[in-house]
Structure 1
Amino acid sequence: MKKDVLLVDGYNVIGAWPELQELKKDDLAQARDRLIERMAEFQATKGWRVIIVFDAHLVPGIEKRKKQYRVEVVFTRENETADERIEKLVSELSNRLTQIHVATSDLVEQWVVFAQGALRISARELEIAMKEVDYLIARKVRNSREERPLSKIPLSEEVAKAFEKMRRGEQ
């Protein structure tokens, strides 16, 4: 069975999504956190492994890796771009059982990863995919609400109405 891996060029997507562009104006860290939250929703819904890569030039220092909401977050080494790290990850993760998708709107990067066998997703296409994820999550929540009984004890409609009146303080 093929596994899917989504590599996300973090700052590229932040610069492309209107919601994240707005957050970035006031607080870049907040925009990063929101992207991570959105990708966690994607991961939970699609079941794909998700790795977000951020350039080191905006967070200087040594390479940092963390896992947040089951999403892997990588801050590259100083003097290493997200594009370079993504290309390395495509090379490292590529095998017959893994389909790699790279989310970036950088055309040069898209061609490089495509040549390595990865599929490219533009930031806009990822944003559209997130709308589908939002729909699936909303449907799942709606279905779970409909399936959940209002009471753990089966009540006749007449008794349930009487209890509801009591709950509201009506006589």
Structure 2
Amino acid sequence: MQPDWLIIDGHNLLHKQPHLVALMNQSQEQARTALIRLIEPYSERLASKTTVVFDGQNRGSDSALSTGTIDVQYAPAKLTADGLIEQLVLKADNPHRICVVTSDRLEQQTVLSAGASVRSAEDFLDQCSIKRNTPTYSTKMKPAQKPTLGDIFPHDL
């Protein structure tokens, strides 16, 4: 059954994308924006409502990241993103119609006990056909080449 509401642990999902982790080392704001743009095309077909939750510290100037299909929320002071996710699930009228995306085992158990379903970040990326590793490979077959002595022995000898 498709959930009505998808709640995503933003930093947890972000850390499953190596190119976003590298970007986050330069700019957390740009990494969060890139994550939202990455999942935006899939959010509507996965649930009627999608919320991405980030920790509140280091939020920068990207407080207006929400799009027409994705609501972005930051945990307020003295509360973690996990805590905000738990509050959202607990306050929901139908927590059984919520799916939380996180690979944090403790958070998974907490929201499961509140009635929500859980999908790991890896499964979510696979479901969206988003590759966690971004190298591109040519689909053309290269002709087989016979090895030469130079391939086997270093040129320095």
Q: TM-score under structure 2 normalisation? A: 0.71
Please give the per-residue CA displacement for 1:43-76, whole angstroms capped at 9, x wherever unaligned.
Answer: 233343100011012328xxx6763232100011
Tell me the equivalent position of 2:12.
12
How far apart, in 1, do the equivalents of 2:87 and 2:40 lie? 23
Structure 1, unmatched stretches of 5+, are: 133-171
What is the aligned-residue identity percentage?
Answer: 30
2:112 matches 1:109? no
Please give the per-residue CA displacement for 1:79-117, whole angstroms capped at 9, x wherever unaligned.
Answer: 110001000101122427x61111111110000001011
SS in 1 for 2:107: helix
The structure that is strand-richer by fraction is: 1
Cα RMSD between the aligned structures? Answer: 2.4
Q: Which runs of 4+ in 1 moved over 6 A?
A: none
Pick the structure with greater CA Rg: 1
Decide whether the 8 Å contact of 1:17 with 1:124 is kept in 2: no
The structure that is helix-richer by fraction is: 1
Structure 2, unmatched stretches of 5+, are: 131-157
SS in 2 for 1:20: helix
Change (3 A) 1:77 1:4: same
Change (3 A) 1:127 1:53: same
User: How do residues 35-114 of structure 1 correspond to structure 2 at under 5 angstroms?
Assistant: 35-59=35-59, 67-95=66-94, 99-114=97-112
Letter in 2 for 1:99: R
Letter in 2 for 1:85: L
